[in-house]
Structures are given as structure tokens and as C-alpha cells.
Structure 1
């Protein structure tokens, strides 16, 4: 009996040790992966055309700086959400507020929706749009993520039935920082409570000239980067029901960027060469990088024409070929962009310029990222 008891205890101890070892060798789950989550709340009333133009023209500048972020040696995932408020075309029963884009990694979708925004007179309820973004977005409970709201507008922060203080304190309790951007005179923004809204959450109050026109400095490297962008697009392998549509949108957003300026188009190409531009939902190269990906799970009818009829080995080889091609193109774009940035820095005037959207946002993001141990190259 004693021998049986000893054997049982030994077996139990052995099982416990094996379990401990297995747990020690188990990689950390996705909860340890950090993300940068940004909700952009834009006033789209009549006087805000300049703000929308800055958002469209400076999106890729902001993305490129965020792509330089790291934490504990790892690159964080970037998610962006977009809301519009203060527009008479919107539902008055919802406070003239609309979720344009949920928190997403799909940067083409963010760009598309920015370019679709149109202004129209209305009532701007800052407290309510902040509350709505807190209610609707998947912020999650992770304390590792950098979670930021940027709200921009030019009417008093106190308007509407939702007290902005209640909304901001709720954001603070959820680990979300609210940054306020007043479009107009700095002191007027203070007098209309924009600064108070930011201070509640430890955010930053800023003012910008929304009518400032973005200045672009061309470089000798722009043409080559533009050529590489075309080649980069050819490495995408569409699949699934949305594949073709998403690929068309990729090209459409290239056109939107180039419609503003070649420099803006170049900055978008640089974003597409970075780790934050991922399209695993419709591109087989990005999808194949996922741990649970199996090419055999993709139905034949969901494959592009050039892959239909291929056996499993040929499919894998085709995807790997496109992956290698993409990595080479992205590497060259990144190397050229370093030279481009050095050139532009030398050409830029040392005189101070107007406060603009990308400048104030990036300063705030970098300041607040420090508290989460993020670093920027």
C-alpha cells in the first residue's frame, strides 16, 4: 500500500514538473503584443474644409512616424478609427455623429473614408462624440496598449447634452488619453474649455491653423520610389470575396495620394513598405505570414486566376516568390527614403511654420508613448 502511495506521489510530482516546463516553454500570447490605437474625431461642419484637407494630405506622414515606434524590441500594431461630428447631414438623434471607420489595420480603408468626407453646417457636441467612441470602439482592457483620442474642432467644447467632463473622466478610467486640437486661436480654445478636456486625462491641448496649406519638398529620389510603388503593387495576390475590391482600393488610394502631390504619393509608398501596412484579409503574401495559415484552406474559387489549378507545392512556391520580390522592393524603398529624408531636412527652412495637424499630433503621440515605454527610431 505504501509503495502504491509512493508511486502515486512520484507520478503526480513528475506530471507537475512536466506541466511547469511546458508552460515555461509556451510563447507569450497576443495579450503581450502592444498596439497603438488612435481614434480621430473630426469636426466636419462648414468651416472645417481646411482641417479635412490636412488630414488627407498628412495621413501618410503620421503613419510613417508611427511605423518607427518600438517597445521592448518589438514593433507595435497600428489601428486607426475615424469619426465625424457636427455635420447637418448626420442623424440628429445620434448627436450629428457618425462612426466612419472602426479601429482597423486597413490603412487603405482609412484613406478612402477620409477622402469621402464632406463638410456641412451643424452642431458640434464634443462630449457626446468622445462618449460615442468609448462606447463603440474595441479599446480592450490591455494596459500595454497606447490608446489615444484626438478630437479636432472650432466650437465650444461644452456644447451638447453630454458633459465633456464625464466623458473625459470615463476615458481616463479606461486608460485612454484625450488630446484636443482647437482649430483657431490658442487662447480662444482655452476659453471654450478645449484645454480642460485634455487636462482631465493627462492629454495635450493644441491649436492649429486649419487653413494652412501643406508645403511639399521634392527630392531626387521621388521618381524612383514612385516606380517601385508600381512594382510593389504587383506583388499582391488577391484572394477571397473582397480580394479584387480591396486591390482596386489600394490602387485608388495611390491615386488619391498622388492627386494631392507626388511627395504625398511617395510618403504613401513608404508606408506600404513598412510593417504597419498589412493586408492579410485579402493578400496571400501577408496571409501566409500568419501562424495558422494553410494554403489548402483557401477554396479554389477564391484564388486568383493565375493560381487556379496549381497543386499545393506550386501555390506555396508562387506565394514565396512574390514574398521575396516584395521584400526586395520594400527594402529599396526604405533605403531610398532615408536618403530622401536627409535631403528634405537640409532643404527645409529653419524658420518656424504654422502649427499643423501632423506636427501637433506626432508631438503628443511621442510624448505620451514614452509613458508606455515606446521608443521612436
Structure 2
């Protein structure tokens, strides 16, 4: 029971291993409650890991929100190394809050905070904006709402996961959780439950049953337990490299400067929370999941989002105004190379950081379960042909 919300991340990775055999599954039936069109993936046969986080934001859940802020980057970093065969799946995260009196009662005290997004800065911003207030927590209702509203798509190779966390009985509300999980099965979505409290209490209030109906994982956490941050000798170097990394971004278009400011804001949020959290965010920014083609010219050109010769003068940043197409291409290419070099340095330092942190925590009993789960996950990954770079 006394594990941290890192169990969420480990459970997520554990469930993810089944994706490698997705090609052998039958295409799931279309859900009766579907209200969105199937998603069309731009890349043929490209896999997606889709994660919906459903967080209880009632009065007693301040600790849960706090831990979620701390563990977002752990989740991203863990999944960034995932491979299934030769594929490296993309990641999309959605966020819901429920059980808060400030939310609409006619909608079950539920709010979609963010639809599926790969914008890690936006996800961080929304997590840090969450606040708690007393309310009614309807688990079945919020699961069903996320199934209805989110674009889960119909690609059988996609890994589709719901993580719902809270501390009230799973049976509350007008929507029966068994009906919601039946709908989840129809959409090939796995529901994982995190009970904030005593393990056996979560079992008796049907949180375990809510997970087992979709072959998901049930976990119990001490949501009021302070997150443990382990400092390493490599942290300062990583943070300095993060500052250099930010300088490789070339903001363009109407939202360019706004999104660049958001990037800096989320760096600040992470650092205010803890130095270790800022380091983990820096590592996430060096991963393949951190893409900003909507506002960064380097990513936009690499992903064929824009063609330099077609960009209007007013969309360019000041440093590129009046430049020729050849000069702009050279500038972008230089920033791209700088970025690749910095990302590689961050990843190399992070490997050393991970080794150091593992050495510092291996003798501490509070982390024993986590270490055991990590070992089990790696063993099961081999059986499921899931690998990490």
C-alpha cells in the first residue's frame, strides 16, 4: 500500500507490453456511445500510446495532484524508450478532473481539462493549474465521458489506457462502472485504477473490480506521502544544457512567442516544485516525444509542417526577417544540429544520473516494491517482445 504514484508509471508500462501482439487481435467493435469520428493517423502503421488521466480533485486530493505534477516527466521518460518490434510509438495524453464542486453538476462534476495532446508544455500547464474542492466522485461517469469525448481511434496497434485515481467508492453516480468498462472493452481501452488509501479498502469499494473487468491493474497509494527527490552530481549540468536547448528553438507564426513563453513558464514550474523535477523535465525535452512543430521552425521543417520558401515575412522571427531562403535554411539547419548535440549530451548525462539514483535508493526499504516491480516489468517485457533502447 505504501508505494508512491510512481506505481502509476510502472503499472502503465506493465500494461503497455500487450501492444506488441496487437496485430493478432480482432478489430474492436464500434462502441454504441461513440460520439467522435475515428482518428486518422498521418503516418501509415504508426503506433500511438494514448493515456487518459482521470484525477479526483475533491478536497482530500491535494497530495494526489502534487504527486501527479512530480511524476509526469517520469511517465514521459519511461515511455520514450519503448519499442515494439521496429516501431517507436508516439505518445498522446489527455487529462480530466472529477469530483470537484466547482464543476457542472449536470455533467457529473466532470471536466475535460485537455483532449489527447502531444504538447508536453500544455499538459504540464494544465496539471499545474488544477486545484481541489469538495464534491461528488462518480467514477463510472468520468470513465464513460472520457470514452465518449476522446478520439481513441480504431488502429488495433494503438495502446489505449485510462488511469483513474480517487478515494471514494467506485460505485457512486448514475453511470454503472460495469457498463463503462464494457464500453472500454469495445473500444479496446484498458482501465487502470489507483485507489488513494488502504489497499483492502480499495478492493471492498470495487476499485479492483473496475480494473479487472478490462484486465487492467489495480493499485493503492498513499497520496499524502511526500515525493522523494534524489539529487545527483549531474543535475546542474543537465539544467545548464536545458538552457542551451531552449536557445535552439526558432519561434514562428502567430503563436510562436506565446508558446516559447509557455516553454519557459513550465521550466519554471518544474524548478519551483523541485530541482529534481526540473531535471526530469529537461530529460523529457531531450526525448523524441518533445515536438513543437506548431511554433518552432526547426521541428516544423523537419516534420514537413512548413516549407521555408512559402513562409511569409511577417511570420518569421526578427532574427530571420530580411533573410534569403538560403540563409534561413542554413540558420534552421544550424539550430537543428545544435539541438541534436545538446539532446545527446542530456541523454548521456541522464544515464549516469539514473545509475547514481538507483545506487542511492537500492538499500532503502521504501523503494523496495518499486524496484521489485521494475525488475518484474523488464522480465515480462522480454516475454512480450517489448524492448527499451
**TM-score of the alignment, normalized to the shorter chain, above 0.5:** yes
User: Which residue of structure 2 lines up, in the alignment, with residue 376 of structure 1?
Assistant: 388
Structure-1 separation of matches of 2:383 and 2:99? 33
Q: CA shift at 1:376, angstroms?
A: 2.6
Structure-1 separation of matches of 2:50 and 2:371? 18
1:108 paired with 2:121, answer yes
Q: CA shift at 1:91, angstroms?
A: 0.7
Structure 2 length normalisation: TM-score? 0.85
Distance verdict in 2 for CA 1:240–1:159, change over 3 Å? same
1:191-212 residue CA offsets vs partner (Å, 9 max, x unmatched): 1111111011110111000011
**Larger Rg belongs to:** 1
Structural mapping, 1:223-262, within 5 Å: 223-262=236-275
1:337 paired with 2:350, answer yes
Structure-1 separation of matches of 2:376 and 2:295? 33
Q: Say if 1:212 and 1:354, in contact at 8 Å, map to a contact too.
A: no
Q: CA shift at 1:365, angstroms?
A: 9.1
Q: Say if 1:208 and 1:354, in contact at 8 Å, map to a contact too.
A: no
Q: Say if 2:52 and 2:93, in contact at 8 Å, map to a contact too.
A: yes
User: Which residue of structure 1 lines up, in the alignment, with residue 162 of structure 2?
Assistant: 149
Structure-1 separation of matches of 2:68 and 2:176? 27
Structure-2 separation of matches of 1:90 and 1:218? 38
Structural mapping, 1:104-253, within 5 Å: 104-253=117-266
Q: CA shift at 1:248, angstroms?
A: 0.5
Q: 2:43 aligns with which of 30, 43, 52?
A: 30
Q: Say if 2:177 and 2:210, in contact at 8 Å, map to a contact too.
A: yes
Q: CA shift at 1:335, angstroms?
A: 0.7
Q: 1:265 aligns with which of 278, 281, 301?
A: 278
The gaps in structure 1 that reach 5 residues or longer are: 1-27
Structure 1 length normalisation: TM-score? 0.88
Q: Say if 1:184 and 1:208, in contact at 8 Å, map to a contact too.
A: yes
- The DSSP-based 3-state class of the residue aligned with 2:137 is coil
Structure-1 separation of matches of 2:384 and 2:184? 17
Distance verdict in 2 for CA 1:363–1:79, change over 3 Å? farther
What is the Cα-based RMSD across aligned positions, in Å?
A: 2.4
The gaps in structure 2 that reach 5 residues or longer are: 1-40
User: Which residue of structure 2 lines up, in the alignment, with residue 71 of structure 1?
Assistant: 84
Q: CA shift at 1:300, angstroms?
A: 1.6
1:179-225 residue CA offsets vs partner (Å, 9 max, x unmatched): 00000000100111111110111101110000111111111111111
